[in-house]
Amino acid sequence: MRNSLPYLLATLVLGFLVSCASRPSATSDKSWVRIFDGKTLDGWKLTTESPATFSVQDGAIVVAGPRAHLFYEGPVGNHDFKNFEWKALVKTMPGSNSGMFIHTAYQPSGWPSKGYEIQVNQSHTDWRKTGSVYGLQDVKEVFVKDGEWYTEHIIVQGKKVIIKVNDKIINDFTEPDSVSNASSPKKLSSGTIALQGHDPKSKVYFKDIMIKVLPD
């Protein structure tokens, strides 16, 4: 029996390792697609207003400069999303403000007139903080610190928008009928996504930008 014990233990350990290897990983969801290659802005379109606000450094999109916006115009979903998930690693520097737009459309200048802005802001003077559906259901609490990478995850399904920060739901918004029935473009419909350059004093980083298209 003594001689068979090491063999039995080795067999059990091997069986456990094979079992673990056969299980799907929590991060192996192939429906997520990276839409930023970490090197270029291929698939994205800059506004003609202050395009130098956006650059790529060390695998991240750096947003630093006067007001400008960067719209996704790549092949995924033909850059026209209705129900989808969008997440990125984000880092804000002190006093900075930015945004992640949903259901929007390219325009060469100005604040996007279509869709909603999901706020990115820990310490800027604007009281609407990260995770706010800007001007509709705002968040006052701060959940992360400037200078630290965190995950901002937006889920859009029908008339509902859920925002997670580091996997914690911080905002669960349902668009009211008064907005749904309005003729204004500031409502949920479909469209692309965009990143915001807010002002010359703000500096924000985005990387590992991914999209998952959901069924209608």
The runs of H, that is alpha helices, within 50-202 are 177-180
Q: Which one, of 39, 81, 108, 37, lies nearest residue 193 by Cα?
A: 81
Element (H, E) at 144: none
CATH number of 33-213: 2.60.120.560
Nearest to 101 by CA among 70, 59, 140: 70
Query: Which stretches of the chain score pLDDT less than 50?
Result: 1-2, 5, 8-10, 12-14, 16-27
Model pLDDT, residue 4: 54
Residue-wise pLDDT for 5-17, tens only, equals 455 444 544 454 4
Please report the pLDDT score of residue 30 as a whole number: 78
Strand 203-213 relative to strand 32-34, pairing: antiparallel
Contact at 8 Å (CB) between 122 and 139? no
What digits encode the pLDDT tens for the residues 34-60?
999 999 999 999 999 999 999 999 999
pLDDT at res. 161: 98
Mean pLDDT of the chain: 90
Amino acid present at 129: K
pTM of the model: 0.86
pLDDT on residue 180: 84
Return all residues near 103 (Cβ < 8 A) that are at least 6 apart.
81, 82, 114, 115, 116, 156, 187, 188, 189, 190, 191
